[in-house]
Structure 1
Amino acid sequence: MSFLNKINDYRRGVMRGLTKNIGKPKTELDIILVDKTEIKRVLICRPNGRLGNLLLITPLVQEVTEIFPNCKIDLFVKGTLAPIIFENYDSVNKIIDLPKKPFKSLLKYIKVWISIKRQNYDLAINVDQNSSSGRLAVQFSNAKYKFFGDLIDESQLVKSDYDHIAKYPVYNFRYYLTKLRLAQSNKLVAPIDLKLSSSEIAEGKKILNDLVQNTKRTICIFTFATGAKCLSEDWWNNFYTQLKEEYKDFNIIEILPVENVSQIGFVAPTFYSKDIREIGSVIANADLFIGADSGIMHLASAVQTPTIGLFSVSNIKKYEPYDNCSVAIDVNLYAKKDYIKIINSILNNGKLGIYSDAI
């Protein structure tokens, strides 16, 4: 571990200790929101720059937009991906991005915090209750209503899907709103959504057609993942051989990571791009996506393609793909016949997503 990494780890530990009690008294719950139209400017805080984590806040953004349709949302994040991910979200007004390495961009880091203090927000929301920067940003803001992301009522835990990282912020926020005297919502949590345009879908179809040059249905695979989440070359080679044998009437293409590596040695037709929306548009034209827990897995889910998430070490209940027949598989427990059964079930049900008519 480098010296800077050690400093960052120490900084995170100190920040968590300093911010863990911010918002705990919940004095803001004594305030009643009389008129929802009062909420015009909203700050949502998720100071994280990973593709998956940013995609996973799209259900909360949709929830806030539905409850407060006249509001404009500023997103407090990290890195440069958020403007790309939220490009077609009309309610998103501004992206406030922390530099990925604050010690190397100290002046910008300070300016970001000052900009939050200078804005007049009606509502500030921290997505992850364990995020010290998120809690601090909400506290630092001038918002009248402040939600720090905490689980206010443990009765929410009875929901079977509460543990999911895209869903529990929505459930917690809904309960917070009941304390402001708003009606409890019992709607299903919205899917993760990249909001691709029809022109993007059409371009993705063209790219895919140029790659396969036939009219067969398509299965996309993504063989990469970071760290221990990445399945071995032997596992993937055996699985790819199995797919080719079972699905001779399908195209099987590999979506490559930005690192341009392949666990199957590039033996399948491949697609490589650094453009997140372009990658999403290609996957949106496929019938099925199969890949380990990763940002690209969440991207596949965000373009409404049925997704099979392959989990070996990650918390399935927290990160599993959902909606549109998507499922998570624990590779430590499943046998060959189980994979085929699940794949057949999804392919036979067909694509149910919002982009299906465009494919």
Structure 2
Amino acid sequence: MTAERTIRVSLQGHAYDITVRPGLHADAGAKLRALSKAAKAVVITDSNIPAATVSAMVTSLAAAGFAATVATVPAGEEHKSVEHVLKLYDQILPLRIDRHTPIVALGGGVIGDMTGFVAATILRGVPFVQCPTTLLSMVDASVGGKTGVNHTVGKNLIGAFHQPIAVLVDPNVLKTLPQRELRGGLAECIKHDLIRDAEGFANLEKDIGRALAVDIKYLTELVAHNVAIKARVVEADPFERGERAHLNFGHTFGHAIESISKYSYSHGESVALGMVAATRLGVLLDLLSEADERRIRNVITAAGLPIDGLKLDRNQVVDSMAFDKKVAGGKIRFVLLDGIGKAVVRDDVPVALVREAVESLV
């Protein structure tokens, strides 16, 4: 049996545990009961989550004494909107929940972001629990309290910081995850090591095939390693006013690609291309060696993610970055690498070099 891993996130006035163990969702009710005396619970999920997974969660909550109700939204990034948040309010408010009623996010990053935003705003704030079901949401979206929805102008422009009371990660659900989704999650794993852990990146170079083979023991350790990196960054900067910006490596380019493509490129694919562009930009600025660039491109390729073949208008991609949340004082801030394992933020990048970096994706 794979041992349970617990990573503590210690924030001023709000600490919580991220627990990682195969089979953990069967014990979700007991874990939540230790944190809440509420009589009710709400589970938010989408049409991608197998009925058996939803049923098992409801059964676990009921066994712990929660009267659990399921609220649903259609699956897909295109439904991560204010309109669908309003529909969730319509499903939840008639249940007469109170400010102690926990809301459980059972799904990928879209569900986690939407559930967190609903929990942050309904009744001016209720507790919520992250139960991520994709590798991407396990290692990234479920940790750190960033919640929100998209707007036609750009991604995640409407939201709030609202920390969960617990994150319960069951790697067994990855057995049914489509390969494209698994590969997308590996993009964030690569990112974490690139900004913080050169040794971890070297390990990925050797072992990333084990993730693609759905080796649950390896994936359990990989998830625990990644959430530990993200937890330390979040602790240092819970409201993204400084160091936490490092987590956006690849995302300035990536979010533009995702938005312009109307999400035909997945988040993981967009971030992979964004990391390739950011890596090229680092080389152009003499921050990063071409040897390190080759290593990065090779690992992204080994993960089954794209490094070129961009089918979008490059000018649109560059222009879209001006609407990114990371723009400050009219300047686009880029997270770049000053060597593998070390991130830096630059806001003095000439637009000609940005265009060259985007052109490298063709």
TM-score normalized by structure 2?
0.28
Identify, as 1 or 2, the structure richer in helix: 2
- If you compute each CA radius of gyration, which structure gives the higher value, 1 or 2? 1
